[in-house]
Amino acid sequence: MFYYRVKKYIGAYLAILGGADTVVFGGDIGENAPDLFTLEEATHLLERGALRLNWAGHKLRQKKMILTVIGSYQLEEVLKASLRQAGRDIPHSVVYMQEPGKFRAPRSNGERIWAHILGESAGLLSLPREKLLTAEELDALDGRASPEGVIL
């Protein structure tokens, strides 16, 4: 609930100000949030705008696909899909590209659905979707069951 209120207030301030280039938090806000990037990775990302996340991929030298993502919300979903692919021993890499200066919530639930990434990955790899998704996830993804609590 706390993070929802923070997002709400920041969104209100950004609307009043017409945007912002940087938002800085003080105190212990974000203290328990994961640091996804090392200083070296963050510097590379800022300088070049994109970064291959070696720690997120699986068997990089044998990769059959590259999961490329733009934006922080999408990164969270791709990391979920990457974990599933690694668990199924599917070689892949993950590339993160910065989203141009936006501070926003997801546009729709579609931006949050990691299961779509896995479904498309299976098709590209000529694998049955069942190799990457459970029966319950497939039912939710295909509209035979509610996605709430399953893939959302």
What is the number of other CB atoms lying within 10 angstroms of the CB of residue 69? 23
Residue type present at position 50: A
21, HSE (Cβ side, Cα atoms, 13 Å): 0
Which stretches of the chain score pLDDT less than 50? 1, 102-103
Give pLDDT, residue 141.
84
Give pLDDT, residue 110.
55
Please give the C-alpha separations between residue 112 and each of 19, 29, 50, 60, 122, in angstroms, as whole numbers. 24, 24, 21, 25, 18
* Sequence-ordered list of residues with C-beta below 8 angstroms from that of 69, at least 6 positions apart, any chain: 75, 77, 78, 94, 95, 96, 97
**What global pTM score does this model have?**
0.57
Instruction: Supply the mean pLDDT for the chain.
Output: 79
Give pLDDT, residue 11.
72
Give pLDDT, residue 7.
67
Give pLDDT, residue 91.
95
Give pLDDT, residue 142.
85
